Amino acid sequence: MALMPIAVVVVGVFLPAYPLRILDLVLLYAILGMGLNIVVGYAGLLDLGYVAFYAIGAYTYALLASPQFDLHLPFLLILAIGAGLAALAGVLLGIPVLRLRGDYLAIVTLGFGEIIRVLMNNLDWMTNGPQGIARIDEASLFGWRVSTPVDFLYLLVGLAVLTFLFVWRLQESALGTALAAVREDQDAARGCGIDTTGVKLIAFATSATIGGVGGVVFASMQRFVSPESFTFWESLSIVLVVVVGGLGNPFGVMLGAGLLVLVPELLRAYADYRQLLFGVALVLVILARPMGLIRREYGPSWFARKLMAR
């Protein structure tokens, strides 16, 4: 398993610029998908506004490291700030909703995603409105300038590995057990002494944090942000990454990220039909394989056991 990221790096380094950019995008979506998976796959809650946290991260970087306010804070500091702000937003949004039934979360997060976008569009003094913020600083980590697609490949592979290890540990820890109980039968979970609102809030905030980190990296990669990148469609794409690949399974999420980024690239000629095909795919996957292409059981722990057994 440890060989996979190395393989990705080795292959990536020799790729021409265009496919390399796509590989970077796959990794970014895999990170976002693993984050969203905590809420959708582990806790069984539908979050349709994940892009809001992503946007918070992206705009944090754009505002704190660009000529917009002539602030140029270091990348790592902004990464922490962006993650923190996204987590805070997750908690504030989660408090009214998470003590209620799960499906209200879907509609409230859907609304929240829209609100964030409307705010970005209209708070001109801060965000420049629809024009967005350009000329964002180059990222740098301890003196390492992260600017070319290869640099981002290293950064993203590193982040993806960290995220993967974290969500694996989370799933296997007592928190993961508690979330699984919430997913299966919330009321019985309460009867077993689980503070369901509390654990859902942790899941929601953690997921938001990863979204925020993804957003910061995205902004440093594009070096330009505008509200257009954060539509509902983006949220839905990340949900698709999780659902198509495999609910509750980080391997599935990686596969999902690959498919969701690559297939549209291959179907460029039919761009008009892209969303239609996504919609049809979503319905078909749900009807035929409700748990996604890779089932929950065949996750990292199963894989680790297989390796040990050999």
Partner 1 sequence: MATLVLQQLINALTVGAIYALIALGYTMVYGVLRLINFAHSEMFTAGAFVALFAAGLLGGVTGHPGVALLAGLATFVAIGLLGVSVEAVAYRPLRGTSRLAPMLSALGMAVVIQNVVMLAGGRRPLIYPSFLPRGVINVAGAIVSYKQLAILAVALVLMVGLELLVNRTSLGVKIRAVAESAETASLVGINPNLPIALIFFVGPGLGAVAGILYASYYGVATFSMGFVIGMKAFTAAILGGIGSIPGAVLGGLLLGAIETFATAWMPALTHGVIGTEYRDIFAFSVLVLILLFRPSGLLGEHVSEETMVYKRDF
Partner 2 sequence: MLIFDHVTKRFGANVAIDDASLTIRPGVITAVIGPNGAGKSTLVNMAAGSFRATSGRILLDGVELQGLPKYKIARAGLSRTYQNIRLFDGLSVLQNLEVALVPRSLPTLIAQAFWLGPGAGAEVRDTCMAVLQRLGIAHLAERQAGSLAYGQQKIVELARAVAARPRAILLDEPAAGLNHGETDELKAHIQTLRGPELAIVLIEHDMRLIMSVSDDIYVMNRGAVLAHGNPEAIRDNPQVQEAYLGQPGAMGNIEAAARGRRNRVRLRAGEGLAWGQS
11, 13, 101, 169: residue in contact with partner 1 (rule CB under 8 A):
101
Task: Convert residues 108-127 into a mask of x (bound to partner 1 by CB under 8 A) and - (unbound).
Answer: x-xxx-xx--x--xx-----
* Residue 228 in contact with partner 1, rule: CB under 8 A: no
Report, in Å, the least distance between residue 185 CB and partner 2.
6
Long-range contacts of 277-282 (CB under 8 A, 24+ apart): 278/236, 278/237, 278/240, 281/240, 281/244, 282/240, 282/243, 282/244
* Residue 303 in contact with partner 1, rule: CB under 8 A: no
Q: In this complex, which beta carbon is closest to partner 2, that of residue 10 or of residue 192?
A: 192
Residue 141 interacting partner from partner 1, partner 2, none (CB closer than 5 to 8 Å by kind): none
Report, in Å, the least distance between residue 103 CB and partner 1.
6
The answer to whether 218 touches 58, Cβ cutoff 8 Å, is: yes
* Residue 36 in contact with partner 1, rule: CB under 8 A: no
Write the burial class of residue 18 (CB in 10 Å: 0-12 exposed, 13-18 middle, 19+ buried): exposed
The answer to whether 63 touches 123, Cβ cutoff 8 Å, is: no
Q: Give kind and range of the element (H or E) at residue 72.
A: strand 71-72
Residue 279 interacting partner from partner 2, partner 1, none (CB closer than 5 to 8 Å by kind): partner 1
* Residue 238 in contact with partner 1, rule: CB under 8 A: no
* Residue 166 in contact with partner 1, rule: CB under 8 A: no
Report, in Å, the least distance between residue 84 CB and partner 1.
22
DSSP alpha helices (H): ranges in 173-195? Answer: 174-184, 186-191
* Residue 45 in contact with partner 1, rule: CB under 8 A: yes
Report, in Å, the least distance between residue 47 CB and partner 1.
11
Structure tokens at 87: 């987590």
**CB 66: neighbour CB atoms within 10 A?**
21
Report, in Å, the least distance between residue 33 CB and partner 2.
19
Which position has the token pair 């391997």? 251
Q: In this complex, which beta carbon is closest to partner 1, that of residue 185 or of residue 195?
A: 185
